[in-house]
A and B are shown apart, each in its own frame.
Chain A
Amino acid sequence: MEIADALVQMGKYIGAGIAMGIGAIGPGIGQGNIGSRAMEAMARQPEMVGTLTTRMLLAMAVAESTGLYSLVIAFMILLVA
């Protein structure tokens, strides 16, 4: 393999790793906030656990989406040309 190809390959792997790693920070913080607040609410009002759990999962799924963009970008870097 020529040195240029090797450099391109190296750049792809490093770029995909950085994209996924940094992109996972935001959703992590967001999901942590959602989870902690939902736990507080559940402790305060245990009779609301059912509705709170579904709302919490929905909010988590929405907060996750920015992380998924970085996942898509990482796959694009790795797989698409």
Chain B
Amino acid sequence: MKLNLTRNEKLFLSVFGIVYAALIVYVIISGYEFDLEGVGIRWIYQLPFGEGPLSRINPMTVFMTWGIMALIIIVAMSFRRFELLPGKRQTLMETLLGYMLELTEDAVPRKRFIKPTFVIACTLFIFILIANIITAFPGLNTTVTEDGMKLTLFQDTWYSPTSDLNTNATYAVMVLVISHVFAIKAKGFSTWIRSFFQPHWLMLPMNVISEIAKPISHSLRLFGNIMGGGLLVLIISYLIKYFVMPPFLWGFFGLFIGAIQALVFSMLAIAYIGSLLE
């Protein structure tokens, strides 16, 4: 196989290789010791009032959520004017959103609810996609040591809000509530209540449990993928020091798995909303 590279690609690859080799040499010379202390433990802030689980917050989740929201808003501001002859970025967005719209039209049977479902699913998709993709790049993260909490820069990937179950559970419960509200709006209250007694009133506990199980599986799927991916990268890098490329693993778990899971999350949201509208 013969590689045909342009001059810019050759330049990029050689700069990347030199930087990567220099980083490895720097890490070995400086004697940086990587240990698994504090892996899987989060920085938790106890609020001065209240007690119990509701009085604790994860500050990194809050910061990163607001940061990603600001990023999305800044990018969205640049799309204010749509042109008749789309450029590169506009074509990308139109292809993406058109694909999502096709999926929504296939899954939602009532015409009135296609647009709200599409908006909800697309918002979830864009947020989760960016939140997952930043786990492929080194950045700001926290580690918990015996002395307390310390911030680390460029030693680990960006902290992703989706690797915290609170975020995912919030979105999953939100989708559940929205789907039932849409169902009540579309079919009326009595029909909605009666749908729990189908096909027989003995099936009521089964129907209720299947509704409760939806957000649990919905949120744990995303959480397990992102959190488990991050921990797997750490463990593999710990086992094979300096030889396996963390960028490769970050790329696989962050870009590939992250994009697929974002699509799966929003598609399941569409499917859950659509299945209750029939």
- Residue numbers of A with Cβ under 8 A of B are 57-58, 61-62, 64-65, 68-69, 71-72, 75, 79
Say how far A26's CB is from chain B's closest CB, in angstroms: 14
Residues in B neighbouring A61, C-beta threshold 8 A: 221, 225, 257, 260-261, 264
Tell me if B223 and A72 are in contact (CB < 8 A): yes
Interface magnitude class on chain B: 10 to 19
Tell me if A72 and B217 are in contact (CB < 8 A): no
Tell me if B263 and A72 are in contact (CB < 8 A): no
- Residue numbers of B with Cβ under 8 A of A are 39-41, 217, 220-221, 223-225, 227-228, 231, 257, 260-261, 263-264, 267-268
Main secondary structure of the interface of A (DSSP, over half): helix
Which are the 4 A-B pairs with shortest beta-carbon distances? A68-B224, A65-B221, A79-B40, A71-B228
Say how far B107's CB is from chain A's closest CB, in angstroms: 13
Tell me if A62 and B264 are in contact (CB < 8 A): yes
Residues in B neighbouring A75, C-beta threshold 8 A: 40, 227-228, 231
Complex alpha-carbon distance, A75 and B120, angstroms: 32
Query: Contact check: which of A58, A69, A71, A79 meets B264 at CB < 8 Å?
Result: A58
Complex alpha-carbon distance, A68 and B40, angstroms: 16
Which A residue sits closest to B216, measured CB to CB? A69
Say how far B56's CB is from chain A's closest CB, in angstroms: 15
* A-B contact list, 17 entries, CB within 8 Å: A58-B264, A61-B225, A61-B257, A61-B260, A61-B261, A62-B221, A62-B264, A64-B225, A65-B217, A65-B220, A65-B221, A68-B220, A71-B228, A72-B223, A72-B224, A72-B228, A75-B228
